[in-house]
Structure 1
Amino acid sequence: MRIEAVLFDMDGTLLDTAKDFFSIVQTMRIERRLAPLSSETCFREHVSRGAQAMVAYAFSLELDDPELILLRDDFLARYDVQHAQLTGPFPGILALLERLERADIRWGVATNKPLRFAQPIMDALQLSSRSAVLLCPEHVEKSKPAPDMLLAACEQLQLDPRQVLYVGDDKRDIDAGRAANMHTVAVRYGYIVPGDNPSNWGADAVIDNIDEIDALLEAQCGC
């Protein structure tokens, strides 16, 4: 079946959101008279695990440390304000979206990021009016790796899941896409946990550069 839509995970796939996360934890550390973290690269490896894991890494805390909850809440409150100051699309994303639109292939976002953050970011980057769908945990009973979010997107798009390609940077994304009976693509440029390997996730394709999507659409999906 011809691919009629491409869905993207948000953090680590469509958008590089780590810069805002890193900036916030640096400010929090400085305010507490702690030295700034020395490496954004190491910090990025924890982004896919969520706010609590990012803060735990930034302050060298165990996940069961009672102080962590207060720090996490502070982090999220700051992110409410600073959600798109440094965030932007990964290289090649805007050009890809333009190519999809010219080919009449709709695109959208299915993310485990709460709507309170995802929607303002899409608005700030002027992507909301272009995106056909935005699905977040609030819209479904179960988040990824369950397929609920992707199936809900298909319902909104009025497409068979086999007509949709899902792109993500985490095994949860690929698991959700496969459970929904979609074509799946794993990207290596995202927030990959150390020791993990996207080639082992069972995706239909694994890519290093988002521009490789064009060839996949033409060669594998008949577009």
Structure 2
Amino acid sequence: MKHPGARLRAVIFDLDGTLVDTADDFIPVVQQLREEFGRSPMDAERIRSSVSNGSRALVALALDLSEGDGDFEPWRQRLLTLYAGILGSHARLYPGIEALLTQLDTQTIAWGIATNKPREYTEPLLARLGLNPGSVVCPDDVIHPKPHPESLERGCRELNCAADETVYLGDHLRDIQAGQRAGMYTIAAAYGYIEPGDSAARWGADVVAPRSEDLQELLFPEAERAYA
């Protein structure tokens, strides 16, 4: 897709690993889960790289269980209970994001979030961080979560913009697939939670952001930026 350029009307972000670094909430939760399961702590960076895959993937990683195991769901619920107890305690915006959001507001460009994180965890996190996006689409709101484009199509309706006027950013292949299927310009957040052996360069995004600090320039090429 071609960058909307001066026609840019909205930016939609994935949440965990793209807009907000939430890994430091999940790392102690996974370590505690392992302790309760009778296992020693695991490498924190391995946990960090899996955060975008959700609670099921984290339980599978932490306890070496599969969803077909009878005790898988009770352990997943335990992980979610532990997470709810510290939700947002260590989460923070990635570097450069606050300035980017300020620029979007200054240029009256709408912004929203399309996430596979359930609303019961998304809303408290956003409130704790003081974020007020124009649209928040969670899996609770759609029939088909990402990589289906439904979340992004709903986001466009709520932000009153067309897909070709919108940029979508995400740190997982499913984000880029969803953005492409919706007809949006896509940016792969290579600074996010990338599994070992994977690479954002392989996802086919229109452009890759190595650092969160690069997003402002990628969204607003020099000739179109209102200010540095």
Report how far residue 202 of structure 1 moved: 1.4
Q: In structure 2, what is the equivalent of residue 98 of structure 1?
A: 102
* CA distance in structure 1 between the partners assigned to 2:195 and 2:41 by the alignment: 22
The secondary structure found in structure 2 opposite 1:45 is: helix
- The aligned length equals 220
Query: How many angstroms does 1:5 deviate by?
Result: 1.1
Paired residue for 1:136?
138
Q: Could you say which residue in structure 1 is the equivalent of 2:116?
A: 112
Match in the other structure for 1:188: 190
- Give matches, 1:1-223, under 5 Å: 1=4, 2-37=7-42, 39-128=43-132, 131-219=133-221
- Per-residue CA deviations over 1:165-200 (Å, capped at 9, x if unaligned) read 100001111111111111110011111122222112
Cα separation, partners in 2 of 1:50 and 1:218, compared to 1, 3 Å: closer
Q: 1:85: Cα distance to partner?
A: 1.0
Q: Please tell me the residue identity of whatever aligns with 1:209.
A: R
Q: Secondary structure at the match of 2:208?
A: strand
State the 1:32 CA deviation.
4.8
Decide whether aligned partners of structure 1 residues 41 and 59 sit closer, same or farther in structure 2, where only a CA change above 3 A counts.
Answer: same
Q: Which amino acid aligns with 2:171?
A: D
Moved more, 85-94 or 155-164: 85-94
Deviation at 1:63, TM superposition (A): 4.3
For 1:149 and 1:62, the matched residues in 2 are separated by 27
Q: Which runs of 4+ in 1 moved over 6 A?
A: none
TM-score (norm 2): 0.89
CA distance in 2, matches of 1:202, 1:36: 35
Could you list the runs of 5+ residues in structure 1 that have no partner in the other structure? Answer: none
Secondary structure of the equivalent of 1:29? helix
How far does residue 222 in structure 1 lie from its aligned partner after superposition? Answer: 5.2
Aligned-partner SS, 2:112:
strand
Deviation at 1:219, TM superposition (A): 2.9
Distance apart, 1:60 and its partner CA = 3.1
CA shift digits 1:128-163 (9 cap, x unpaired)? 3xx111111111111111111101111111111111
Residue pair 1:165, 1:183 contacting (<8 A) in 2 also: yes
Contact 1:3–1:221, Cα closer than 8 Å, also in 2? no
Q: Which stretch has the larger CA shift, 51-60 or 23-32?
A: 23-32
Deviations 1:82-117 (A, max 9, x none): 211111111221121112222222211100111111
Q: What SS does structure 2 have at the residue aligned with 1:155?
A: helix
Query: RMSD between aligned alpha carbons?
Result: 1.9
* SS state at 2:71 partner: helix
Secondary structure at 1:134 match in 2: strand
SS at match of 1:113: coil
